[in-house]
Amino acid sequence: MPEKIIFIPLVGEVLLKKNARSKKIRLYVKPNRQVIVSLPYLSSYKNAEDFAASHIPWILKQQSKLNQALPIFALNAVYYTKNHLVKITEKDCEKMVVRTSGEVVNIYIPPGTDVGSKPVLQFIEHVFVEVFRREAKQYLPGRTEELAKQFRFKYNHISVRNNRSNWGSCSGRNNLSLNLNLMKLPNHLIDYIILHELSHTLVKNHSEKFYALLDKVTGGKARELSKEIKSYSTYAY
């Protein structure tokens, strides 16, 4: 569906997305603090922009709540991904470094460093992105092929990317793009996203026909899974 990104002072970027199934303009803030306005297909972007601008106090309040809920990385903590163990340890070093041994990833932080500071958080995020990237490339292509064969879908190329705006996409030529951050999801939600994009190889929109197909291949759980995945962020952490 068509979409447009605008900038609103105080709020930042706002994604305007047209939806053929929407009957009215809706505003929501995702767990990653991204602001999205969903609008009917025939509605104008100007109406959506005005709607968002009129709700700035509400948006800021929601973002503030999410900011307070951000995860806090701690020294001597251990974090588990699907295939890796990530450790954050204070070590006598001049700068932050990463050392990998098999499936163990060690993040070494200089003594006295504020683990909650923005530069440290960005560094740790980058480490998790690379861990998820490695796992995604090992898992997603094969799992996509399995599901495509099981439900008789056909697709062309598949790529893995660090995309913060969505979990996946399907081009007009049936090339699939999957978000590497899928690797932080439970396996049944990974399958849901893959099946969602595979369904787009047959139905390019989000019409009732599309959701009927998606419901069929997910065992009648399309709506339930769609609601569940909204509690997850497309960010690495």
In the chain, where the domains are located = 3-68, 77-125, 134-229
* Global pTM value: 0.70
Mean pLDDT, the chain, integer: 89
Q: What is the mean pLDDT of residues 126-136?
A: 92
Q: Is the pLDDT of residue 1 over 70?
A: no
SS3 of 30, please? coil
pLDDT digits (tens, 9 = 90+) for 18-36: 888 888 999 988 766 778 9
Question: The dihedral of CA 224, 163, 71, 37: what is its sign?
Answer: negative
Any idea which fold 134-229 has? Zincin-like (3.30.2010)
- Count other Cβ atoms within 10 Å, centred on residue 208: 11
pLDDT digits (tens, 9 = 90+) for 168-214: 999 999 999 999 999 999 999 999 999 999 999 999 998 999 999 99
